[in-house]
Structure 1
Amino acid sequence: MANAKGFGWLAIVRLGAVQASIGAIVMLATSLLNRVMVVEYGLIAAIPAGLVAWHYAVQLSRPIWGHGSDKGRRRTPWIIGGLGILALGALMAVNATVIINESPILGGVMAALAFTLIGAGVGASGTSLLALLASGVARERRAAAAAVTWIMMVAGIVISAATAGALLDPFSEQRLVMVATGVVLCAFLLTCAVTFRLEQQALVEAETDRAGPPPDFAEAIREILKEQAARRFTLFIFVSMLAYSMQDLILEPFAGLVFGMTPGQSTSLAGIQHGGVLAGMIAAGIGGSAFAGRMPVELRVWIVTGCVGSALALVGLATGARVGAGWPLQANVFALGFCNGAFAVAAIGAMMGLAGSGERTREGVRMGVWGAAQAIAFGMGGLLGALGVDFARRSGGNDAAAFQLIFAIEAGAFVLAAFLAMRATRRVPALSQRMAST
């Protein structure tokens, strides 16, 4: 095997800046415009929720984008091109939001097209970015690389949200367009700058047992479906991310309805959860790299521990729903965030390791399959959690019991995810042999 220099920490941080740019633009569409449609324009919440769900559905195309980057000799054009599509979609979504209040049909058509572009852009840029990380980062750095990129994505969301929020007051349509254009332009230019000549530092395998051109798309999908480890990992990704996202839309209502928190207090609670996620990501990133001598065995420990810990934290929330005032809600939510962050980063690290284990398939299409499973799980999870609480509240007439039921279901899903993780992240011969030869 011919070896070339792999990505160093500076290169990993540069790729993290791309992830931060993606997060910043997506924030505009899924958070800021959601609020503007519902609060400023008085639209029903189902409209922005449906658009967000649609952008997740479009990301089922991730395997196609990943396969396209596999067929090409470089992934950077796919990253920049995808982010360009994402930027165009975000700007179109902003204009659609301005128009929809006066012309619902035209604005609705524009919004649907815009969120189609957003989903396609996230799929193309995000999948190619993960594939580049998987092929260019040494295996002992993969957990830390996943932690760095995801922490930077969260930072990008936080910074862009805070900046846009400060600049939007007092609100006007012109100010909304200007602020959104500034965020999108900065994110796109940053991506172009940090990816300049970056891919030349990636690990390049000149002669491997996968030498030759990658298979066509249908053959690549058939190979992945035939591979037991890939099928199991896809199922694990779907179940774990479904459980992960189910509390997204119900945690703040839970704090308000059961614990009587004000909007400001519940927002602070969400901040505590995100702080826990960041702490868990850092812990798993450091631990996963420090003990990654036989990846993915050690990462499996972090994944399973994170899933089981998340289940226990959700059991705690279910108990808190019954106990009410006096329950250590902030500590419980922080623990949930910590365990969520730990398992998510470890899972991404294992994903990057398994991405290179195909006989002929490359990292792009494999990352695309797992990214599609994650996207559809995210789209379904938030919707199922919210609908489940609404149905339980109306059926039983008891808010605490309704949340208790949904949290218990989520805990069960995390336990199932832990079981699937133990089966899905076992070392496969092709991966072990490949690692032994590097």
Structure 2
Amino acid sequence: MRQHAFGWWSILRLGAVQAAIGAITMLATSLLNRLMVLEYGLAAGIPAGLVAWHYGVQLSRPLWGHGSDIGRRRTPWILAGMVTLGLGALLAVHGVTMLDESRVKGIALSVFAFTLIGAGVGAAGTSVLALLATGVAPERRAAAAAVTWIMMVFGIVVAAGTAGALLDPYSEQRLTAVSAGVVGAALLVTVLATFRLEGRGPLLPASAAPVAGPPLSLKEALAEIFADDEARRFTLFIFVSMLAYSMQDLILEPFTGLVFAMTPGQSTSLSGLQNGGVLIGMIATGVGGSAFRGRLPIELRTWTMVGCLGSAVALAGLAMAAWVGPGWPIAANIALLGLCNGAFAVSAIGSMMGLAGAGRRQGEGVRMGVWGTAQAIAFGLGGLIGALGVDVARGAFGTPGKAFALIFAAEAGLFLYSALLAMRTRGVARPVSSLRSVAI
């Protein structure tokens, strides 16, 4: 019997889950990172290692996807993942508050907490993507991915702005209360968004029945991907571009604190400004593509290259800001970085979704899984390389400004290389009209 595809209301509900995931993850990867480095005097490499570890745990994503495939129900995995993610975030906050009492105990608890965070993001995030892949009509998958990504960034923006406003003046009690509020709100949103979602709707169309037999193993999936020249080039593009995208994640707030003397609340709010720029860039790219449909064949490759080149320019500006210090228009610079990052990200997502069904055996799930793995590895390495690079450079140069300038310049170079890779990847050259339904 033919089953109907998800409508936009169901897609928006899944986007709300992504927003909840982003809100909780912001606590660990942004706020706690800044506190560990500045308020508690840890080397930047320690929180960077914790964040890299949570990305390492996410390499288990195929296991979570396989588990939800067996029962053909995604909602229990989404809810279980969100509970695990929320518990991990609260334990991570508690670990930070223990650092003054015992560095060893605080860091040990943080390692366990970030393990839960990685497992929770992997279980919930993979199940959301699986539900999108099986419940959304093929012609709307790129637009659905863009909408859910935009909503995830929106969740980060709201959580960062709210937390930043409530944290000043900083105290451990205030940190615990604000974090509990963010986690509680995110869990409530998830429960409401997933309530009877699968029962009311639409799964696979008759023409897209699931492949019989067990899913491909990770080894088999990698073998198929790397036997395909186009998929291999696109995988390299995803890795390099996401490496560039993530290198500033863990050092931007310490940078504003050390070079511009900002408070925790100010730097967290500035992070919200950056993510707001990402959101605007994503919306402008998606809606802008639909505005020219039928008139101008703008390719996703063009938007990707513009986003990469603009990000390189913004990062070069941050390298100069590290030398100049107070007086530089840091807020405008960070907003520009977010805007260009958003344009790059949404066009890359559209390319990824457009290429996902090109596999010879199992299409969307296998390829999205491999590219998700490449992205997770790049994110983990990017944050770690950025933070460790700052630590090493500070030791060599003796001043934080020169250290941050070096890392930001290296990121700019990676984005320039990413633009070159995008130009050479034919699979990225799909018309932006595949994203036009974002504007609906």
TM-score band (shorter)?
0.7 to 0.9
- Aligned residue number for residue 380 of structure 1: 381
- Aligned residue number for residue 120 of structure 1: 119
| 343-352 or 102-111, larger mean C-alpha shift | 102-111
- Aligned residue number for residue 62 of structure 2: 63
Summarize the alignment of residues 56-95 of structure 1 with structure 2, pairs less than 5 Å apart.
56-95=55-94
Take 1:52 and 1:346, find their aligned partners in 2: how far apart are those partners? 26
CA separation of 1:419 and 1:389: change in aligned 2, threshold 3 A: same
- Aligned residue number for residue 287 of structure 1: 288
Residues 4-63 of structure 1: per-residue CA shift (max 9 Å, x gap): 432222222111110111112222333444455556666555443332221122112223
Name the SS of the counterpart of 1:360 in structure 2.
Answer: coil
Name the SS of the counterpart of 1:356 in structure 2.
Answer: helix
Residues 300-343 of structure 1: per-residue CA shift (max 9 Å, x gap): 32222211222233344456667888876554443322111011
- Aligned residue number for residue 149 of structure 1: 148
Residues 249-274 of structure 1: per-residue CA shift (max 9 Å, x gap): 4445666777x675587666545433
- Aligned residue number for residue 369 of structure 1: 370
| Residues 7 and 138 in structure 1, CA contact (< 8 A), matched pair in contact too | yes
- Aligned residue number for residue 229 of structure 1: 230
Take 1:35 and 1:315, find their aligned partners in 2: how far apart are those partners? 22
- Aligned residue number for residue 433 of structure 1: none
Take 1:332 and 1:165, find their aligned partners in 2: how far apart are those partners? 19
- Aligned residue number for residue 205 of structure 2: 205
Residues 64-88 of structure 1: per-residue CA shift (max 9 Å, x gap): 3334434442333322222222123
- The letter of the residue matching 1:149 is T
| 343-352 or 61-70, larger mean C-alpha shift | 61-70
- Aligned residue number for residue 358 of structure 1: 359
- Aligned residue number for residue 432 of structure 2: none
Take 2:287 and 2:127, find their aligned partners in 1: how far apart are those partners? 25
- Aligned residue number for residue 438 of structure 2: none
Summarize the alignment of residues 26-425 of structure 1 with structure 2, pairs less than 5 Å apart.
26-35=25-34, 37=36, 45-99=44-98, 101-102=100-101, 104-164=103-163, 176-177=175-176, 179-199=178-198, 200-208=200-208, 211-217=211-217, 218-251=219-252, 270-289=271-290, 298-318=299-319, 330-361=331-362, 363-392=364-393, 394-395=395-396, 402-424=403-425
CA separation of 1:355 and 1:301: change in aligned 2, threshold 3 A: same
Residues 413-434 of structure 1: per-residue CA shift (max 9 Å, x gap): 1122123234445279xxxxxx
Take 2:327 and 2:166, find their aligned partners in 1: how far apart are those partners? 39
TM-score when scaled to structure 1?
0.80
Name the SS of the counterpart of 2:213 in structure 1.
Answer: coil
TM-fit CA distance, 1:243: 0.7
Take 1:84 and 1:66, find their aligned partners in 2: how far apart are those partners? 17
- The letter of the residue matching 1:155 is F
| 21-30 or 193-202, larger mean C-alpha shift | 193-202
- The letter of the residue matching 1:160 is A
CA separation of 1:106 and 1:362: change in aligned 2, threshold 3 A: farther
| Residues 134 and 355 in structure 1, CA contact (< 8 A), matched pair in contact too | no
CA separation of 1:401 and 1:112: change in aligned 2, threshold 3 A: closer
Take 1:55 and 1:262, find their aligned partners in 2: how far apart are those partners? 27
TM-fit CA distance, 1:220: 3.4
| 336-345 or 142-151, larger mean C-alpha shift | 142-151
| 172-181 or 363-372, larger mean C-alpha shift | 172-181
Name the SS of the counterpart of 2:427 in structure 1.
Answer: coil
Structure 2: runs of 5+ lacking an equivalent: 430-440
| Residues 143 and 346 in structure 1, CA contact (< 8 A), matched pair in contact too | no
Take 1:75 and 1:363, find their aligned partners in 2: how far apart are those partners? 16
CA separation of 1:378 and 1:292: change in aligned 2, threshold 3 A: farther
Take 1:81 and 1:9, find their aligned partners in 2: how far apart are those partners? 25
| Residues 45 and 388 in structure 2, CA contact (< 8 A), matched pair in contact too | no
| Residues 31 and 268 in structure 2, CA contact (< 8 A), matched pair in contact too | no
| Residues 223 and 361 in structure 1, CA contact (< 8 A), matched pair in contact too | no
- The letter of the residue matching 1:379 is G
CA separation of 1:348 and 1:45: change in aligned 2, threshold 3 A: same
| Residues 62 and 369 in structure 1, CA contact (< 8 A), matched pair in contact too | no
- The letter of the residue matching 1:212 is A
CA separation of 1:49 and 1:127: change in aligned 2, threshold 3 A: same
CA separation of 1:67 and 1:298: change in aligned 2, threshold 3 A: farther
| Residues 160 and 271 in structure 2, CA contact (< 8 A), matched pair in contact too | no
Take 1:329 and 1:167, find their aligned partners in 2: how far apart are those partners? 22
CA separation of 1:238 and 1:97: change in aligned 2, threshold 3 A: same
Percent of residue pairs identical: 67
Take 1:322 and 1:38, find their aligned partners in 2: how far apart are those partners? 21
